[in-house]
Structure 1
Amino acid sequence: MSQKVKIIECPRDAMQGIKTFIPTDAKVVYLQSLLKCGFDTIDIGSFVSPKAIPQMVDTAEVLSKLDFSETNSKFSVIVANVRGAQDAVVHEQVDYLGFPFSISENFQMRNTHKTIAQSVKTLDEILNIADAANKKVITYISMGFGNPYGDPWNVDVVGEWTEKLAAMGVKILSLSDTIGSSTPENIEYLFSNLIPKYPDVEFGAHLHTTPTKWMEKVDAAYTSGCRRFDGAIQGFGGCPMAKDELTGNMPTENMLSYFTTNKVDSGVNWMVFEAAFNKATELFSTYHD
């Protein structure tokens, strides 16, 4: 397999919208099963207001209970403000701070209670905090493929924001299909145009999908040059701040099947993954909305 992709597993995204609190020890058991799968990165929790995302209030405790001794994966957490970034960087295991940056003014207010202008300032501060702590920042362009709130959206708006964020020093930019509105056409257009234009930026695809649309989305992103893919086992979860009619996360097992079929190296050990898949079934059949 000559081609390689990075698979980012997102248990944080899978769990965060579940209203029943998942006990810390149950989270630890599940997350521990993911550590040996071979994922490039695991999106493991968040340092945000407990009022906003109560499910993630125990991220610091979860990190303290996991055994990181036999994993090669890196770890990311979501932060929404400067305080969250400061809380996150003290944890040695955290490699990346993920910041949700929406190009929809309405969604940015709904998600972080900030305007886009305020969010630009916050992101700049977070980049400095991360740099000082030898961490990296993943900037998620929320509503990267359209939005339902009536804000102006087209591929040029995404391009303009990519230019601004790259100029600020953003090195990892994940286009997020927050409400499942992406099509193969706009996925292909964005990645095939942005990736060559910004060679210093690593672009990722955080795609949400319905069960019948996943393959065309993954294929469009991969054939357009994207090599970084977010997913969640069995497609659990989504963004609790988006509209209620959510499509699910991109199922990791579907992506792995696609890449295996196309002889692309994902770095994931299928046998270990199968055990984690079973753990996911166990956890999410017990704790769900």
Structure 2
Amino acid sequence: MKIIECPRDAMQGMKAFVPTEQKIAYINQLLKVGFDTIDFGSFVSPKAIPQMSDTAEVLANLELEETTSKLLAIIANVRGAEEAAQHQQIAYLGFPLSVSETFQQRNTNKSIAEAMQQLVQIQDICHKHGKTLVTYISMGFGNPYNDPWDAETVIRFVEDLQQLQVKIISLSDTIGVSDPASITYLFQHLIPAFQDIEFGAHLHTNPNTWQEKVEAAYTAGCRRFDGALRGYGGCPMAKDELVGNMPTENLIAYFENIGLNLNLNKAAFASAMAQSGAVFS
């Protein structure tokens, strides 16, 4: 079971700038917990996401010597990929690819066709620098813009990504519209059909539906889940449709309740939970 903690996703939409020193201290605490991966920052335009303008400085001050967690940075274009790839500490580059034409433009200022062209170059950069590309299929369970969506469309996107040798794909419920039926259908069809790809669940949710979503994905075979402590954040480009992240503490409680050993440092996690209150207050 892989749990990816996403402080970047939690912070990126905050209006008040989180001081760099506070980001560093918080992510360093998260690194002590034992999460598989920390989605810690992004190399994108500071005009688009001002909160992430200090990602390189944060990275330079992370305590990575004694952690098993790997670092993931979000990028939105070739320039960002080239910048992120220069940092040896980063293992994963994450790119948001949307099945919604409207959201692709809002999120990365390019069309789906242009995004796919950029992905070819980004994958080449990853190969040259020993990075692994993680592609997020955003609006993967529907969109509010009346753009065409069905499960078969998502499957066709996966087929295209397989041709690019993408090895990790995370299905993203950007606005929290998924339900157990749609989650089950996609994972049950994708996981057996594309055995060379690791599929993840990046599920946004409200407090009443989180468990049924996690249960559906897990039962359908998903073993990679994104979360953010206390459910903070969500994609700021979704604007009025913003729904919070999956609370990491809920993921942990669910998996431990069904008997999984997540090998997490409980004391470090409790400290991170306490620290998150100050970061996001």
Partner of residue 269 from structure 1, selected from 265, 269, 272? 265
Kindly report the root-mean-square deviation, in angstroms, between the aligned alpha carbons of the 2 structures: 0.7
Counterpart amino acid of residue 215 in structure 2: D
The equivalent residue for 2:127 is: 131
The equivalent residue for 1:256 is: 252
Compute the displacement of 1:281 (Å): 1.0
The equivalent residue for 1:100 is: 96
TM-score, structure 2 as length reference: 0.99
Compute the displacement of 1:17 (Å): 0.1
Counterpart amino acid of residue 138 in structure 2: S
Compute the displacement of 1:12 (Å): 0.1
Q: Say whether residues 1:215 and 2:233 are aligned partners.
A: no
Cα deviation code 1:144-202 (max 9, x no counterpart): 00001111101111111111111111110000000001000000000011000000000
- Alpha-carbon distance in 2 for matches of 1:248, 1:269: 25
The equivalent residue for 1:234 is: 230
- Alpha-carbon distance in 1 for matches of 2:265, 2:25: 19
The equivalent residue for 1:158 is: 154
Compute the displacement of 1:66 (Å): 1.4
Counterpart amino acid of residue 280 in structure 1: S
TM-score, structure 1 as length reference: 0.96
SS at 1:248 equivalent: coil
Q: Say whether residues 1:175 and 2:156 are aligned partners.
A: no
Counterpart amino acid of residue 216 in structure 1: E
Q: Which moved more, 1:38-47 or 1:260-269?
A: 260-269
- Alpha-carbon distance in 2 for matches of 1:46, 1:115: 20
- Alpha-carbon distance in 2 for matches of 1:210, 1:246: 11
Compute the displacement of 1:264 (Å): 1.5
- Alpha-carbon distance in 1 for matches of 2:98, 2:182: 17
Partner of residue 187 from structure 1, selected from 180, 183, 197? 183
Counterpart amino acid of residue 80 in structure 1: A
Q: Say whether residues 1:75 and 2:75 are aligned partners.
A: no
Q: Say whether residues 1:280 and 2:276 are aligned partners.
A: yes
Partner of residue 143 from structure 2, selected from 138, 144, 147? 147
Deviating 4+ runs (over 3 angstroms) = none
Counterpart amino acid of residue 86 in structure 2: V
Higher relative CO (Cα under 8 Å, sequence separation at least 6) belongs to 1
SS at 2:94 equivalent: strand
Counterpart amino acid of residue 179 in structure 2: T
The equivalent residue for 1:38 is: 34
Taking only the aligned residue pairs, the percentage that are identical comes to 59
